[in-house]
Amino acid sequence: MGRSLSVVSMLVMAGLPLACAFSKATEAEIKHDGGGTGAGLDVHLSDGNNTFESDAMVTCVMTTAMTTNLPPDILIVLDRSGSMQEDLTGMSCGNGGCGATSKWTIATMTLDAFLPTVETTVNWGLKLFASGTGNNCTVDNRADVAPGPMNAGAIMTRLGQARPGSSTPTTAAMMNAATYLKTLTDPNPKFILLATDGIPTCGTAMCAAGVNGGMNQCDDANAIAMVKTVHDMGFPSFVLGIGTANSPGDGTLSQMAVNGGYPRAVTPNYYPIGSAQDLTDAFKTITGMVGNCFFSISPALTPSQFVTGVTADNRTLTSSDYTLVGKTGVQLVGQACMDFTAGNLKNVAVQVSCNG
């Protein structure tokens, strides 16, 4: 038999910032004043406070807690393969690399300029792949910089210590990024931003013509599947292709973007980066998408729980009005988000059911 509860947020727009997420009280904070089996909860938020009230003739549950602004945790998973020394057209510049015009330099310098402008909006983190030094396929399950506020300086310091030169173990990078994110205990929504410049390697499949000399070392199918696995674990991904438009990896990156849950609505589905401005624009777009209209489900849903629907001002939203963010929340999109940020929509309810 399934049971359901609803999380209802009442916002007074003048008192709250636009990019807000709201967390429920912990079980320890909830006080019971009746008997029976809990069936439904309404969380009412107003002027920075929320109150839990039962909406069924069963246990009445009430508590008061402050609303919490929860910026998203975004782990940048950045490719440091040898081909990042090429320029954005894929041209090699010899043993010394392309210097100021290389993919690596353009990526790191663009991040240096952009991240300080949004380090209070997003908890940025960094994971490089491969790990260590040299031309290798090793990826550890740690972050080079843990997601957190005001992290631009720490990220740029770490990037200043790194150099491109590894293989491209994308499958392992995504798997271990998710393994790391699972260890984080904060209630913030969590995303992966994969920035890579080519075909996943460190596999055993035959590479496409013109890729890595046609050797048996590509890993397209496994990387595509791993992005879906990571998404289903509760960590949606954005995919950026640095200097990859119309390359042999174009289709692979588009499939990864679709599996990550946040593809672009145009072709290619990933974010193609052909200039420093393209990279800045992609980061701005992604920051805007995850920073607004997010409603936290805290604690995160268990494997037996699932969202059955979302309503706004007692109107049932369609599936195109919202998207699930892993196991941690729901995000309004499109017109629903615009109505919310404009104050025309003030009452959002998330229905959560559980099996058993």
Instruction: Round the average pLDDT of the chain to a whole number and report it.
Output: 78
Distance CA 189, CA 72 (A): 5
CB atoms within 10 A of CB 93: 13
Chain-centre distance for alpha carbon 209: 33
C-alpha distance from residue 291 to each of 162, 188, 337, 353 (Å) = 29, 11, 11, 26
More confident residue, 46 or 149: 149
State both tokens at 256: 């990864």
Closest CA to 65 of 49, 88, 84: 49
Instruction: Assess contact for 115 and 154: CB atoms under 8 A.
Output: no
Strand runs (DSSP E) across the chain, as ranges?
Answer: 2-10, 31-32, 41-46, 49-54, 61-62, 64-66, 73-79, 123-129, 145-148, 190-196, 237-242, 271-273, 294-296, 305-312, 315-316, 322-325, 329-332, 347-355
Query: For residue 324, what pLDDT is reported?
Result: 79
Instruction: Assess contact for 296 and 187: CB atoms under 8 A.
Output: yes
Query: For residue 226, what pLDDT is reported?
Result: 98
Query: For residue 328, what pLDDT is reported?
Result: 67
In the predicted model, is pLDDT for residue 106 greater than 70?
yes
Residues 34-75 pLDDT 10s = 333 333 333 333 333 332 232 322 232 222 222 234 788 999
Distance CA 311, CA 321 (A): 10
Range 196-210 average pLDDT: 88
Query: For residue 55, what pLDDT is reported?
Result: 31
Where do the domains of the chain lie, and which CATH numbers do they carry?
2-18+24-66+292-355 (no CATH), 73-290 (3.40.50.410)
Query: For residue 297, what pLDDT is reported?
Result: 67
Query: For residue 299, what pLDDT is reported?
Result: 63
In the predicted model, is pLDDT for residue 1 greater than 70?
no
State both tokens at 181: 């994110």
In the predicted model, is pLDDT for residue 11 greater than 60?
no
More confident residue, 171 or 333: 171
More confident residue, 251 or 187: 251
Distance CA 350, CA 332 (A): 11
Closest CA to 183 of 140, 240, 245: 140
Query: For residue 353, what pLDDT is reported?
Result: 78
Looking at 102-116, 243-257, 262-276, which range is the least confident one?
243-257
Distance CA 100, CA 89 (A): 14
Query: For residue 356, what pLDDT is reported?
Result: 59
Question: By 3-state DSSP, what share of the chain in percent is helix, strand and coil, each rounded to 5?
Answer: 30, 30, 45
Q: Is the peptide bond before 299 cis (omega within 30 degrees of 0)?
A: yes
C-alpha distance from residue 94 to each of 87, 164, 179, 265, 325 (Å) = 11, 14, 37, 37, 43
C-alpha distance from residue 16 to each of 115, 121, 348 (Å) = 24, 15, 15
* Global confidence as pTM: 0.74
Buried b (16+ CB within 10 A) or exposed e, 153-170: ebbbebbeebebbbbbbb
Query: For residue 12, what pLDDT is reported?
Result: 32
DSSP state of 267: S
Range 262-269 average pLDDT: 93
Query: For residue 170, what pLDDT is reported?
Result: 98
